[in-house]
Amino acid sequence: MKILIVDDEEELASTLAERLSLRGIDGRYALSGDEALRLATEEHFDVAVLDIKMPKLGGIQLKQRLQELRPGMRFLFLTGHGSDRDFEAGVTEVGEKYYLVKPLDIEQLIAKIRDLLRR
Amino acid sequence: MATRGPLFAPADMRFFGQVSAAVTHDVKNVLAVIQENAGLLEDLCGMAERGRPLDVPRLKRIARELQQQVGRGDRIITSMNRFAHSVDEDPKAVEVSGLLEMMAVLSRRFLAAKGLRLTTVPPAPAASVDAPPFGLIRLLWFCLEHTAALGAPGKTLELAFEVSGAGPAFHIRGFAPPANGLSALLSTESARALCATLGATLASRPEAGELVIRLSPPCVGGTGPAPLTQPRPTGEER
């Protein structure tokens, strides 16, 4: 299982990737939409975990670009808040079930990843 | 000098809400980083319990990161507290270094979204300006917002405070000078209204990529309240 985490908060993205790796999940990270697109061009990822609010390319727009590039890729969204406009937009995009609010519970993240891959 | 009115205008409320919401996102990120690092510590301890040797340098790096995030969170919350109080404060001597620090913290997310960052140049020696705090923040934000929209070749905007023969002024530098100057911005109703609150004037040196926010002297160093002056027409300063 290979996961791509995309968040402009480097310490968050890198630590999440490390914690996934400690659990036997191949976790990689990117700090921007452009970097994520480059990585996804070079490698296959099963799931991308996208922060909604990022400079230039936000999570919703990035999902569309990644889907064009890798039609089989699944998505989870991260947000700082559970009640703002971005959240509503993301829920419309992937459903509330595949949305995570910061700060995260890694076991919940992994459960959602596994659930996505079973679909 | 204008004092607070009984009610804030809708634009003021919108501004306060936008800045506050952006700051809460930053706080959430700080909490998320702390959460992940605490979780990583727990993971590493769990592995040590199962026989894997503890990587002490790694643990120290995590501890340092936690301390840095606490410091970051403290700066954000201190700035937010200062910003929140600006709404309930009458005109007073606003300490400039703290104001610039607050502007840098509050605008970080907004500027990062445009691929920009802000550096500040505080006055030396320390200085203060007599102004309604909220009005001053609104005006500086307005100017930052509009200059950031022009882009910055070096990806960095500079917000400085300087005192010259013409009096005290904030300077925003580093934005891409628009071909037609900043006249359109400087003459907007919003710019005029914000300047009127402070008795300030806006002027630009477009060839230098510089916007000057000139305050009514004398208002530096706690020398007493600034005189209430009518805003002069805004325009290009060369």
Q: What does the block give as tokens for A92? A: 């419309």
Beta-sheet pairing, B201-205 with B235-236: parallel
Peptide bond before residue B231 is cis, with ω within 30 degrees of 0: no
Chain B residues whose beta carbon lies within 8 Å of the beta carbon of residue A104: 32, 35-36
Does the pLDDT value for residue B21 go beyond 80? yes
Average pLDDT, chain B: 86
Chain A residues whose beta carbon lies within 8 Å of the beta carbon of residue B43: 19, 22
Does the pLDDT value for residue B233 go beyond 60? no
Q: Report pLDDT for B220.
A: 54
List all residues of chain B from 22 to 81 with a beta carbon under 8 Å from chain A.
Answer: 24-25, 28-29, 31-37, 39-40, 43, 47, 65, 69
Q: Report pLDDT for A86.
A: 60
pLDDT grade for A92, boundaries at 50, 70 and 90? low
Interface size A-B, in CB pairs within 8 Å, comes to 60
Chain A residues whose beta carbon lies within 8 Å of the beta carbon of residue B39: 15, 19, 106
pLDDT grade for B205, boundaries at 50, 70 and 90? confident
B235 CB-contact burial (10 Å; exposed 0-12 / middle 13-18 / buried 19+): middle
Does the pLDDT value for residue B101 go beyond 80? yes
Q: Report pLDDT for B230.
A: 31
Read off φ and ψ for residue A79, nearest 5 degrees.
Answer: -145, 155
Stretch among A37-41, B94-98, B111-115 having the lowest mean pLDDT = B111-115
- Give chain B's count of helices (H) and strands (E): 6, 8
Q: What does the block give as tokens for B169? A: 């002024």
Chain A residues whose beta carbon lies within 8 Å of the beta carbon of residue B65: 11
* Pairwise CB contact (< 8 Å): A56 & B25: no
Residues A77 and A94: beta-carbon distance below 8 Å: yes
Chain B within 8 Å of A32 (Cβ-Cβ)?
no
Residues B28 and A102: beta-carbon distance below 8 Å: yes
Distance CA B146, CA B142 (A): 6
Give Cβ neighbours of residue B35 (< 8 Å, ≥ 6 apart). Answer: A102, A103, A104
Does the pLDDT value for residue B85 go beyond 90? yes
pLDDT grade for B174, boundaries at 50, 70 and 90? very high
B231 vs B154 pLDDT, higher one: B154
Chain B within 8 Å of A103 (Cβ-Cβ)?
yes
Instruction: Report, as an integer, the average pLDDT of B208-229.
Output: 62
CA atoms within 13 A on the CB side of B93: 12
Give Cβ neighbours of residue A110 (< 8 Å, ≥ 6 apart). Answer: A20, A23, A25
Chain A residues whose beta carbon lies within 8 Å of the beta carbon of residue B40: 15, 18-19, 22
Residues B213 and B119: beta-carbon distance below 8 Å: no
* Pairwise CB contact (< 8 Å): B32 & A12: yes
Residue of B nearest to A13 (CA): B33
Does the pLDDT value for residue B49 go beyond 90? yes
List all residues of chain A from 39 to 98 with a beta carbon under 8 Å from chain B.
Answer: 53, 55-56, 80-81, 84
Chain A residues whose beta carbon lies within 8 Å of the beta carbon of residue B29: 9, 12, 80, 102
